[in-house]
């Protein structure tokens, strides 16, 4: 109920540029999902009818997660340092960071998140993007058939920047230094923080296991990559849903939301939920179309036993 009340007050108030961007992103993702669902968008083409390497056209790039997560890695470090410099040192931000935050955050916002929660959230998010960066660089084997246009890539970078800033959005004003507000361990000693950390750790382990499973499907017994095509993953959570790695991603964002408990981050969670469900739904439809004989009848798309 507290979250609902926060969101009602938030929607009635004047939104910052960041919140307007997040609301617009949620709306566009929702419209895209509904349109693709109603129009019954075709699943991914059958791998057997495609060459192993799709030609990359002008202003297109191979779809890889490492560049965007490297950017998010740097953004997280930078804004976490900004928070530390503001809350724990002189209370001032300067230069381009100051100009950016002044433009995207509401200058007269009321703080609903304490600084300890902000630092813990940045730490967990840093752990997440670091692991995903490592998986993108050293673990995953990506399909050569997935390409991304230049505008889509730019949008991904903007979203990554917005997520890093969102952790700060509901905290104290960066320009108003308050003595003793830097960090307090007593704020961490509550059941919500413990539950959030357990959720975050469990979801991270599950997601990492899923990506390692995908890699094994593209290697032979000698450990050499033999294909970049799609195979049907089986075992573990894959017996219940087609995309446990996407559900784990959502749980990771929810766990950070439990720590922050601010309306801006819940907008981020809403956007992630729509994005991940859309991806899981179409992945599930693709699996059903290509691996109909091998698909467990009880397997769902995103949430076990439900949908």
**How do the pLDDT tens digits run along the chain, 307 residues long?**
555 555 555 555 556 888 888 899 999 989 988 887 776 555 444 444 444 444 444 444 445 566 888 889 999 999 998 888 887 776 565 567 777 787 788 766 677 888 889 999 999 999 999 999 888 887 776 666 666 777 878 888 999 999 999 998 888 877 665 555 677 776 677 888 999 999 999 999 999 999 888 888 777 777 667 666 778 888 888 889 999 999 999 999 999 999 999 899 999 999 999 999 998 998 888 888 888 788 888 889 899 888 8
Query: What pLDDT, on the 0 to 100 scale, is given for residue 33?
Result: 85
Instruction: Give the pTM.
Output: 0.86
Which token pair is 246?
């996407």
Terminal C-alpha separation, the chain: 25
Contact 255, 196 (CB under 8 A): yes
Can you read off the two tokens belonging to residue 292? 């109909």
Give me the pLDDT at residue 49, please. 46
For 304, phi and psi rounded to 5 degrees?
-55, 135
Q: What is the pLDDT of residue 298?
A: 83
């Amino acid at each position: 109920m507290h979250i609902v009340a926060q969101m009602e007050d938030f929607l009635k108030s004047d939104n910052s540029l960041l919140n307007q961007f997040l609301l617009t992103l949620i709306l566009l993702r929702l419209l895209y999902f509904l349109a693709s669902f109603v129009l019954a968008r075709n699943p991914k083409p059958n791998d057997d009818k495609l060459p192993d390497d799709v030609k990359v056209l002008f202003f297109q790039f191979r779809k890889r997660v490492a560049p965007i997560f490297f950017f998010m890695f740097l953004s997280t470090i930078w804004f976490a340092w900004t928070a530390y410099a503001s809350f724990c040192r002189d209370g001032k931000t300067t230069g381009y960071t100051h100009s950016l935050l002044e433009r995207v955050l509401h200058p007269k916002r009321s703080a609903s998140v304490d600084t300890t929660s902000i630092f813990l959230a940045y730490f967990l998010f840093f752990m997440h993007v670091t692991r995903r960066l490592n998986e993108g660089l050293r673990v995953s084997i990506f399909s050569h058939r997935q390409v991304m246009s230049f505008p889509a890539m730019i949008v991904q970078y903007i979203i990554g920047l917005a997520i890093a800033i969102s952790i700060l959005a509901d905290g104290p004003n960066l320009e108003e230094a308050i003595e003793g507000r830097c960090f307090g361990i007593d704020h961490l000693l509550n059941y919500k923080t413990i539950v959030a950390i357990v959720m975050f750790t469990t979801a991270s382990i599950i997601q990492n296991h899923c990506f390692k499973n995908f890699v094994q499907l593209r290697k032979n017994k000698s450990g050499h990559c033999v294909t970049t095509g799609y195979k049907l993953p089986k075992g573990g959570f894959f017996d219940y849903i087609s995309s446990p790695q996407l559900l784990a991603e959502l749980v990771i964002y929810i766990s950070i939301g439990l720590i922050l408990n601010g309306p801006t981050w819940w907008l981020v969670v809403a956007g992630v939920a729509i994005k991940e469900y859309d991806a899981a739904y179409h992945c599930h439809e693709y699996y059903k179309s290509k691996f109909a004989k091998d698909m467990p009848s009880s397997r769902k798309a995103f949430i076990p036993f439900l949908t």
